[in-house]
Amino acid sequence: MATFIINGRPNAARIPNEVWEDLRPIMVEKYKTMTLSEVRDWMKREHNFSATRQYVHRFLHVWKLKKYKQNTSPPASSPDISALAVGTPPRLDGLPGTPHDVPPAEPHEEDHHFGSHPLYDAIPPPTGPYAAAPGLLPPPIAFPPAPAPACPPPAWAPPPALASLAIRDPRSWTPLLSPSPDSHLRYARLASMLSALGDAHHAFAIHSSLWTSHPWHAHAVACIRTAQSHPEIESARRMVRAEAAASTEDDTVWETKLTELLLAHTHLWGPDPPAGLERVARIVRAVVRKRGKGRDRLKIVTPRPLPLDIPLYLFFRSALVWHNSASGGGCVDVRGVLKQFLGQQPAFPRGLEHAETDPLLGIDCLSGCLAWCAGVLRGRPALPAELFNVVGAGPVVEACAVLCVLWRVWLGYRPEAAAVWGYHDGAGRVCYGDGLGPCPAWGENARAQMGIEATELLGVVVGMVMAAVPRGQQGGLGMSLAERALAGASILEGLSSEDLVRRFLEQVWASNKRVMTVGRSGGGRGQEVREGLVSAEVVGPLRAFVAGALGVYDLPVLEPGAAVYPLVLGELG
């Protein structure tokens, strides 16, 4: 048979029918939201698949698809996780466990004629509710079955319409936590990913429930960072006050100042911003000696026992921004003060500018995470079938898709339960599954070295990777999603230690700046936050993928029209 490759591209007149059938699911899905010409151009751009308009039309006619009408086709909806509340395992395509409507296509060997990349390659349909294609992603962890509830779970009612980021009372959804450490670890990991994907409300609900049974500082800080509505902010404030009452006050240590910063932000985001600004001003006056003209000096304050304190860095930098926005002519030299702040961190005893000569052993989790991401990307991981629709939805959502792929691979390793959240079986052993082996060192060390979860560190590194080669700039044009991710990782690997840390600090701030320096609950400058929002229909498949990978089936679906703010790229996207 004559080849169907002409000038490096498949020619429609000679493409075998079985090849068309292999690409049929992708083209049919794209035809739901694209015109015929757009489908043709998309296939040529993303799959190097060249077909004339006539041949595409012929096959669409054979497949009996209705003609596309602009702005009338329904958007791709997120999987209905509420239907899974009774325990029905999901399919890989995110739908409830029902038989496939069409017989699955036979797996076929990779055809290099198409010049496609693995992140866009269609994977064979699953053979079971949790199965993944062999060799593409590790199988999901075999979690122990969740205990049966005492009474049938109630049917999930859709939440009310959302007018702003102030969505609902935190008591509107309570996670179905069981007393087992496994259940707590699964929900803790789910909360971390929901926060990265922008679903702050449900992340708060999980952290709040976890804090009730395990009142750890990490859960309280997470609640402060994810609280959105006034009831949530008040609840988070009570958590911090409970911790402050049990601690000794010492104005010479950052531990005390962090508690004050947390309380100040609950007022900034609550119904009384002036009270929050007054608290921020007192904190700034207590730690900064103002000398004017860029000569402000940060007082010597004893750091917390972390080589690089990221939560404190975020809240302190946010407080400086809030202070300058309300102080008129009494602005603080933010850049100079932050430089001194980093010089007081144990990881940089001589300042960040001497990072090249210092060993930097205190924060090796950053370089370790970057090297791990680059290694996984070079191994050609496949994009799960249920995430195909997010490709082309914008740089932020594409970065979230890359995060989900890398996070899913990381999830296959033995969890760092005892090192991070403290969930173990009493003997220090891991709660579930050996997976691919011990967790990479960076996953074990993220909290001990930076005070953040491994998921947050991974999300920031993915943001750095995707921001290094933007899709719309020179160098990013014509590159697939996986190619851009690998190219960005390669660029970052070539940076010096100082430049890598600086890039990391700017990325973690860019990811959190809007949600930390604007009024919440419809107050102040909420419009700035809304400009970075993504619709629930786009984020829905990502949430469903994460919840399904962890075996959590009681997560409610987002209300259609709801908006979330992913933290992966932020302002660097």
Please give the residue that has the higher pLDDT: either 123 or 480: 480
Please give the residue that has the higher pLDDT: either 370 or 517: 370
Handedness of CA 449, 451, 456, 461 (dihedral sign): negative
C-alpha distances in Å from residue 61, one per residue of 14, 56, 66, 67: 18, 9, 8, 9
CA distance 547 to 54: 42
pLDDT of residue 154: 34
- Domain membership of residue 422 (yes or no) is yes
- Domain membership of residue 37 (yes or no) is yes
Ordered alpha helix ranges (H), 299-350: 310-326, 334-343
List CB contacts of 264: < 8 A, sequence separation 6 or more: 276, 279, 280, 283, 319
pLDDT of residue 473: 56
Closest Cα partner for 341 from 333, 458, 572, 447? 333
- Domain membership of residue 100 (yes or no) is no
DSSP strands (E only) in 217-345 = 288-289, 297-298
pLDDT digits (tens, 9 = 90+) for 80-101: 323 323 333 333 333 333 333 3
- Domain membership of residue 200 (yes or no) is no
Q: Which two tokens stand for residue 75?
A: 């958007």
- Domain membership of residue 245 (yes or no) is no
Total number of domains constituting the chain: 2
Does the model's pTM come out above 0.85? no
pLDDT digits (tens, 9 = 90+) for 205-226: 999 998 888 888 888 899 999 8
Average pLDDT on 514-519 reads: 79
Q: Domain range spanning residue 21?
A: 5-74
List CB contacts of 364: < 8 A, sequence separation 6 or more: 441, 442, 445, 449
Q: Which two tokens stand for residue 193?
A: 């990913």
Handedness of CA 175, 179, 180, 184 (dihedral sign): positive
- Domain membership of residue 28 (yes or no) is yes
pLDDT bucket at 517, cuts 50 / 70 / 90: confident
Query: How much of the chain, in percent, has pLDDT values that exceed 90?
Result: 25
- Domain membership of residue 148 (yes or no) is no
- Domain membership of residue 51 (yes or no) is yes
Q: Which residues pair with 9 in a beta bridge?
A: 6
pLDDT digits (tens, 9 = 90+) for 429-469: 333 443 556 788 898 899 999 999 999 999 999 999 999 98
φ, ψ (nearest 5 deg) of residue 297: -120, 135
